């Protein structure tokens, strides 16, 4: 089981890694992993995000949402010792972008919080949705909710903010760790998926517009 620790060292997140063998989601997960592995050598990650012919869009979105959550969980987990309440008292992506947290249920009015607190809230919020069979059904024949794609978009919008914070606040440490190439590859894969399915509005992508340009990603106008 993958593990990543956020802020509070006593709290461990266990990303939803495994799909039940024999299910369509498990097959798509294996396909996605194999395609990514095959395309890494060619540098054409775009091929890894395209909806396979004849497959269901919602199932493809579901499988990749879980995989990207796992991936970002681990990436952020690798820099938690540098991302603290003292070093990052607010969740931001540079001086122009500050993110406040609200989930509409437990916290209805947006609150300012430190970066590790924000990511803690975020990962817990995503995990709860991934575990909810009414939102991310894993049982054969169980339908996806009508608002499923909207929920996926909200998840990706917020996961993007973790990348934005890592690039703006911790890139020097990431470079020192020799992890920048891995971060760039993961982010590029994430963005190809976002752009392929129009999951995040252009204005939300602005904090990393220059990074995207440097990675050869064409953002919508």
Q: Tell me: the pLDDT tens digits for 7-50?
A: 333 343 445 555 566 555 555 655 455 555 544 444 578 888 99
Q: Identify the pLDDT of residue 37.
A: 52
Averaged pLDDT, 52-57: 92
Q: What are phi and psi of 144, to 5 degrees?
A: -80, 150
Q: What are phi and psi of 15, to 5 degrees?
A: -55, 150
Architecture of domain 57-214: Up-down Bundle (1.20)
Give the CA-trace dihedral at 70, 76, 80, 83, to 10 degrees: -150
Q: How far is residue 181's CA from residue 83's CA, in Å, rounded to a whole number? A: 20
pTM value is 0.84
Q: For residues 48 and 189, is the Cβ–Cβ distance under 8 A?
A: yes
Q: Identify the pLDDT of residue 191.
A: 97
> 97-101 long-range CB contacts below 8 Å, 24 or more apart?
97/164, 97/206, 97/207, 99/161
Span 133-167, pLDDT tens digits: 999 998 777 899 999 999 999 999 999 999 999 99
Report how far Cα 118 is from the mean position of its chain's Cα atoms: 14
**Which is nearest to 68 in space by CA: 33, 117, 114?**
33
Span 94-125, pLDDT tens digits: 999 999 999 999 999 999 999 999 999 999 99
Q: For residues 168 and 162, is the Cβ–Cβ distance under 8 A?
A: no
């Amino acid at each position: 089981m993958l593990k990543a620790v956020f802020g509070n060292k006593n709290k461990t997140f266990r990303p939803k890694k495994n799909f039940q063998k024999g299910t369509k989601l498990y097959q798509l997960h294996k396909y996605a992993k194999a395609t990514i592995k095959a395309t890494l050598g060619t540098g054409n990650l775009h091929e890894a995000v395209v909806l396979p012919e004849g497959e269901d869009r919602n199932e493809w979105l579901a499988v990749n949402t879980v995989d990207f959550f796992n991936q970002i969980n681990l990436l952020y987990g690798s820099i938690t010792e540098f991302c603290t309440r003292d070093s990052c008292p607010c969740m931001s992506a540079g001086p122009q972008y500050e993110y406040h947290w609200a989930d509409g249920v437990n916290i209805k009015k947006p609150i300012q919080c430190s970066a590790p607190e924000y990511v803690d809230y975020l990962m817990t919020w995503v995990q709860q949705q991934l575990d909810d069979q009414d939102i991310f059904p894993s049982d054969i024949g169980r339908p996806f909710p009508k608002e499923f794609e909207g929920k996926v978009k909200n998840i990706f919008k917020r996961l993007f903010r973790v990348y934005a914070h890592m690039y703006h606040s911790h890139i020097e440490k990431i470079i020192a760790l020799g992890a920048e190439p891995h971060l760039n590859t993961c982010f590029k894969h994430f963005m190809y998926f976002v752009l392929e399915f129009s999951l995040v509005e252009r204005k939300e992508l602005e904090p990393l517009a220059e990074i995207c340009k440097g990675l050869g990603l064409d953002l919508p106008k």
